[in-house]
Amino acid sequence: MRWVRYRLNNLDNYGIMSDDGIQEVCGSPFDSYEATGIIISPHSVDILIPVVPRTFYAAGINYEEHVREAAILLGIQPSFPSKPDIGYRANNALIPNDASIIIPQDATEKVHYEGELVVVIGEKAKHLSEDDALSCVLGYTIGNDVSERNWQASDRTMWRSKNTDTFKPMGPWIETEANIDDMVTKIHLNGVIVNEFVTKNMIFGVAKYISIMTRYITLYPGDVIWMGTDGASEDLQDGDLVEIEITGIGTLRNPVTKER
Amino acid sequence: MRWVRYRLNNLDNYGIMSDDGIQEVCGSPFDSYEATGIIISPHSVDILIPVVPRTFYAAGINYEEHVREAAILLGIQPSFPSKPDIGYRANNALIPNDASIIIPQDATEKVHYEGELVVVIGEKAKHLSEDDALSCVLGYTIGNDVSERNWQASDRTMWRSKNTDTFKPMGPWIETEANIDDMVTKIHLNGVIVNEFVTKNMIFGVAKYISIMTRYITLYPGDVIWMGTDGASEDLQDGDLVEIEITGIGTLRNPVTKER
């Protein structure tokens, strides 16, 4: 099932994507809902981010090749995380599918994409074992963890490098039936595949993260966990189109604009 | 004006504190509201955290004495931040006034309080000058940035040290008429003052933070910014009562319990 969130007549609503269009529902996937029987054309609505996160979690460093590439860039030895310490991103930066990533005037040329699997939590959860961890997951969507690499190196926190407005595209929908063991993440820049990796090749997987996190913290419906990216990335330029495709979920596409 | 948020008959509502009790309103301080004329006894309701943050910002290191004390603890030279790089905390950890701070079973003895001024944003804001920065502020509340110091040293992010469930008491209300130039923060442990500092003695003040942040990020109604703490702190123990008092706002009080 594919949950979309959209705006129609100034109202934000959830619906279910089908071949016929968007089936309007009353309610949301995070509580109860009922189909109204009305079908809406996707072209007649504004597609929104599929959830406004209650808490916006991010694994950050979670693929080996990405650690090696970052180390080369910084001229240091690669350092792999020894345990799954979760981090955070911020809601101000979120934009939906098709919205523009806007590079600030004073950013350097090192603004990069990072294609990421996003876990959407559907049920309140605490003290989950690794075996039970996925029971709290509603489904999956796609994130682009846009990053200004020079700010990332110079700022004490990553507030500006990672959370500048428009730096967190997320969408286009929440897919509830995707299989995380059978996904490939492909990043297309202006129609050309520039990076491709097996999504499950994480240093710490989704179940491991949820299990460790819920020892100390309660997860709530609407929380999201961005799972990190693999490989190297290229500089984004004014006029670029970046698409993140993940098997079984879909494609998140966003144009890039330089602030004038 | 003092805005309280409370639960009555399973409904969460905003009201205005007065000498007579809580004046019920329809709406919230973040959009429009109208007084209903009904007065409710504060003893008949559950007081909630005064706002569920849209984004939960935290200055972290923002007072010189706190930097020096932390350096002594870690056996290193004090290092002062050169610019206001904002950080983040997480909503799962928030608890209201009077709720218990619960120390996990496996925490070390180094669980500490940190009394902090909390800025509550009332208006959407971008590109504010330092002179105009406070125009987006609705008011102020109080936070206790409870921290497990050994986890703080060992974890790559501060997810567990700072954001374990119950580690972020906030309240009791939002005071819209407090003067940040005329505040003293006092921390009482079991009725004894253990720390006291001039609240405005920040390395970077509220206006400076908002001005720098809004160059890159949009602030939204309901965002909160925790401004950091000064001085040293003591170990919290099972059965303790910790109270953070800030001039012109009030007192945030929370008992401490060790998980059994």
The mean-pLDDT minimum among A92-106, B59-73, B85-99, B187-201 falls in: B59-73
Distance CA(B8)–CA(B112), nearest Å, equals 33
Which burial class, exposed, middle or buried, applies to B105 when counting CB atoms under 10 A from its CB (0-12, 13-18, 19+)?
Answer: exposed
Residue to mutate among B216, B223, B224, with most A CBs inside 10 A, is B216
Same domain, B13 and B134: no
Q: Residue A253: pLDDT band by 50, 70, 90 thresholds?
A: very high
Read off the pLDDT of each residue in A38-44 and give the average, rounded to a whole number.
95
Contacts of A128 in chain B (CB under 8 A): none
Read off the pLDDT of each residue in B168-174 and give the average, rounded to a whole number.
98
CB contact under 8 A, B85 and A159: yes
ipTM exceeding the 0.90 mark: yes
Tens digits of per-residue pLDDT, A98-149?
999 999 999 999 999 999 999 999 999 999 999 999 999 999 999 999 999 9
| CATH (domain of B124) | 3.90.850.10
| Residue B47 pLDDT | 96
CB contact under 8 A, B85 and A155: yes
Minimum distance, in Å, between the CA of residue B127 and any CA atom of chain A: 12
Distance CA(A138)–CA(A126), nearest Å, equals 16
Residue (of B103, B112, B118) closest to B165 by Cα position: B103
* A163-185 residues labelled b (16+ CB within 10 A) or e (exposed): bbbbbbbbbbbbbbebebeebeb
pLDDT beyond 90 at B71: no
Contacts of B157 in chain A (CB under 8 A): 60, 85-88
Read off the pLDDT of each residue in A36-63 and give the average, rounded to a whole number.
95
Same domain, A86 and A32: no
| Residue B154 pLDDT | 86
pLDDT: is B257 or B153 the higher one? B257
CB B258 within 8 A of CB B109: no
Distance CA(A119)–CA(A140), nearest Å, equals 5
Which residues are CB-neighbours of A106 under 8 A, at least 6 positions away? Answer: none
Tell me the pLDDT of chain A averaged across its residues: 95
* Chains A, B: CB pairs < 8 Å: 89
| Residue A75 pLDDT | 85
Minimum distance, in Å, between the CA of residue B193 and any CA atom of chain A: 30
Q: Residue B245: pLDDT band by 50, 70, 90 thresholds?
A: very high
Residue B122: CB atoms within 10 A of its CB come to 21
Tokens of residue A258, six digits: 């330089």
Distance CA(B128)–CA(B112), nearest Å, equals 35
Same domain, B67 and B183: yes
Contacts of B150 in chain A (CB under 8 A): none
Read off the pLDDT of each residue in A225-237 and give the average, rounded to a whole number.
94
Read off the pLDDT of each residue in B138-142 and give the average, rounded to a whole number.
98
Percentage of residues in chain B with pLDDT exceeding 90?
Answer: 89
Minimum distance, in Å, between the CA of residue A23 and any CA atom of chain B: 29
CB contact under 8 A, B55 and A155: no
Same domain, B154 and B180: yes
Read off the pLDDT of each residue in B242-246 and give the average, rounded to a whole number.
98
Contacts of A92 in chain B (CB under 8 A): 55, 217-220
CB contact under 8 A, A55 and B156: no
Can you give the pTM of this predicted structure? 0.96
Taken in order B75, B78, B81, B87, is the CA torsion positive or negative? Answer: positive
pLDDT beyond 90 at A244: yes
- B156 interfaces chain A, CB cutoff of 8 Å: yes
Read off the pLDDT of each residue in A26-31 and give the average, rounded to a whole number.
95
Domain count, chain A: 2
Q: Residue B66: pLDDT band by 50, 70, 90 thresholds?
A: confident
Same domain, B233 and B106: yes
The maximal CA–CA distance of chain B, rounded, in angstroms, is 58
| Residue B232 pLDDT | 85
Read off the pLDDT of each residue in B200-221 and give the average, rounded to a whole number.
97
Which residue from B minimizes the CA distance to A166? B217
At B64 the three-state DSSP class reads helix
Residue B44: CB atoms within 10 A of its CB come to 10
- Which residues on adjacent β-strands are paired with residue B23? B16, B39
Same domain, B127 and B207: yes
Q: Residue A79: pLDDT band by 50, 70, 90 thresholds?
A: confident
Task: Name the DSSP letter for residue B99.
Answer: P
Ranges assigned E (strand) in chain A:
2-8, 11-18, 21-27, 33-40, 46-47, 56-58, 87-88, 94-95, 101-103, 111-112, 115-121, 137-144, 147-148, 168-175, 184-189, 192-198, 224-226, 241-246, 250-258
The mean-pLDDT minimum among A209-218, A242-251, B62-71, B232-241 falls in: B62-71
Read off the pLDDT of each residue in B63-78 and give the average, rounded to a whole number.
87
Q: Residue A190: pLDDT band by 50, 70, 90 thresholds?
A: very high
Percentage of residues in chain B with pLDDT exceeding 70?
Answer: 100
Same domain, B77 and B24: no
Same domain, B219 and B241: yes
Read off the pLDDT of each residue in A48-53 and give the average, rounded to a whole number.
97
- Which residues on adjacent β-strands are paired with residue B56? B224
Provide the chain B residues 93-122 that lie in CB contact (below 8 A) with chain A.
93, 104
pLDDT beyond 80 at A73: no
| Residue A171 pLDDT | 98
Same domain, A106 and A229: yes
Phi-psi region of B191 (alpha: psi -120 to 50; beta: other; left: phi over 0): left
Read off the pLDDT of each residue in B133-160 and give the average, rounded to a whole number.
94
Helix (H) or strand (E) holding B69: helix B64-74
Of the candidates B93, B159, B213, which has its C-beta nearest A87's C-beta?
B159
Same domain, B88 and B191: yes
Minimum distance, in Å, between the CA of residue A95 and any CA atom of chain B: 13
Q: In this structure, what are the phi and psi dihedrals at residue A93, rounded to the nearest 5 degrees?
A: -85, -10
Domain that holds residue A37: 1-48
Read off the pLDDT of each residue in B104-117 and give the average, rounded to a whole number.
97
**Residue where one domain finishes, among candidates B48, B70, B85:** B48
| Residue A124 pLDDT | 98
Same domain, A42 and A128: no
- A150 interfaces chain B, CB cutoff of 8 Å: no
Same domain, B42 and B131: no
Read off the pLDDT of each residue in B33-53 and give the average, rounded to a whole number.
96
CB contact under 8 A, A85 and B218: no
Q: Residue A154: pLDDT band by 50, 70, 90 thresholds?
A: confident
pLDDT beyond 80 at B57: yes
| Residue A155 pLDDT | 87
Percentage of residues in chain A with pLDDT exceeding 90?
Answer: 89
| CATH (domain of B36) | 2.30.30.370
Report how far apart, in Å, the C-alpha atoms of B111 and of each of B25, B144, B222, B238 are.
39, 12, 28, 11
| Residue A5 pLDDT | 98
Of the candidates A55, A86, A164, which has its C-beta nearest B216's C-beta?
A164
- B67 interfaces chain A, CB cutoff of 8 Å: no
CB B186 within 8 A of CB B245: yes
Q: Where do we find the tokens 């926190």?
A: A157
